[in-house]
Structure 1
Amino acid sequence: MSRIAQAFDSGQRSVFASASAKAAIVLVALPLAACGGGGFSLEQAEVDRTILTSSTSANASPVDQDRASDQTTIGNAVSSADIEQLSGQAIPWANADTGSRGSITELAEFKDKGQTCRRFTASRESFDGVALFKGEVCLAGAGAWRMQDFKSL
């Protein structure tokens, strides 16, 4: 038997075992002692004021932008509709940019001080829920339609 094997075979095995057990205890106890030695206290903790974050403006919320885009899509559908051919049927609309969709009902054309206008009711289904709107578009100059009124019911 070699000398190394003899050393482990004899009573020195318990010396190595107790030394490794002591080292394990020291490795576990040392970090605990450092934490408990007064290094960190919740009573002494303060807010770090050096960290700065940015924020988005409240004026440019995605929901408002989506609603404005949907309002334009609805206005385009109302202005391009052939009222005589529809004869009271609902007009479906969809906005690929926002994922919203709905239908336009109660579409009626009238003259206001010589200006052609159309009143309508529109539903809007989007990620933030279902809503109903009343609106009015009027023919401005050069064949362009302009949204005069668009409000949630």
Structure 2
Amino acid sequence: MVVIAKSKSRTKRSIALGRGAAVICLAGLSLTGCTSSLDLFGSSSKVDRSISTGTVPGPKQESGENLSDEATVRNAVTSADLAKLGAASVPWANAVTGSAGVVSKIREARNEGHLCRDFTTTRHSYEGIAMFSGQACMTGSGDWMLTAFDRQ
């Protein structure tokens, strides 16, 4: 009977290679779960294609915050007592949006039979500081309506 003996270093190398292959196979099998849901060719109906990303903003929409600031400015302009105010400025702040500013140069005049107040104001917000010009006119029912509010 002939006995063939293997060297110890050769056995250790075979075991190490076997373990390495097993680790690679297990890693590959576990990653297939992560990649199987990818839709590389656009055929899946699960993908929401309405979402887009980018750094270029679309057209500016009138937000509720802007309208809220406009109403706050209108109230500051229309509640000012011009006889007592003189050349002084009127500060305003909107607790809802965190914006604030100073109304200056309020001028009252009749415009097509309506009492109107032209004004300029600043607006300090998270977007920065901006200057606006505007006009508020009294309606036939006695309410004030902002007829112009333009960023300068």
- TM-score normalised to structure 2 length: 0.69
Matching of residues 57-68 of structure 1 within 5 Å: 61=61, 64-68=63-67
> Does residue 126 of structure 1 match 2:125?
yes
Matching of residues 98-117 of structure 1 within 5 Å: 98-117=97-116
Partner AA of 1:73 in structure 2: T
- Stretches of structure 2 that go unaligned for 5 or more consecutive residues are 1-8, 30-34, 52-57
Return closer, same or farther for 1:134/1:33 CA change in 2, 3 Å cut-off: closer
Q: Secondary structure at the match of 2:105?
A: strand
Residue number in structure 2 paired with 1:37: none
Matching of residues 1-153 of structure 1 within 5 Å: 21-31=16-26, 45-47=40-42, 49-50=44-45, 51-52=47-48, 61=61, 64-153=63-152
Return closer, same or farther for 1:137/1:17 CA change in 2, 3 Å cut-off: same
Distance in 2 separating the partners of 1:104 and 1:128: 19
Deviation at 1:59, TM superposition (A): 8.3
- TM-score normalised to structure 1 length: 0.68
Distance in 2 separating the partners of 1:147 and 1:29: 70
- Stretches of structure 1 that go unaligned for 5 or more consecutive residues are 1-13, 35-39
The count of corresponding residues between Structure 1 and Structure 2 is: 132
Residue number in structure 2 paired with 1:6: none
Deviation at 1:79, TM superposition (A): 0.7
| Percent of pairs with identical residues | 31
Two-structure CA RMSD over aligned residues (Å)? 3.5
Write 1 or 2 for the structure with the bigger share of helix: 1
Question: Computing the radius of gyration over CA atoms, which structure comes out larger, 1 or 2?
Answer: 1
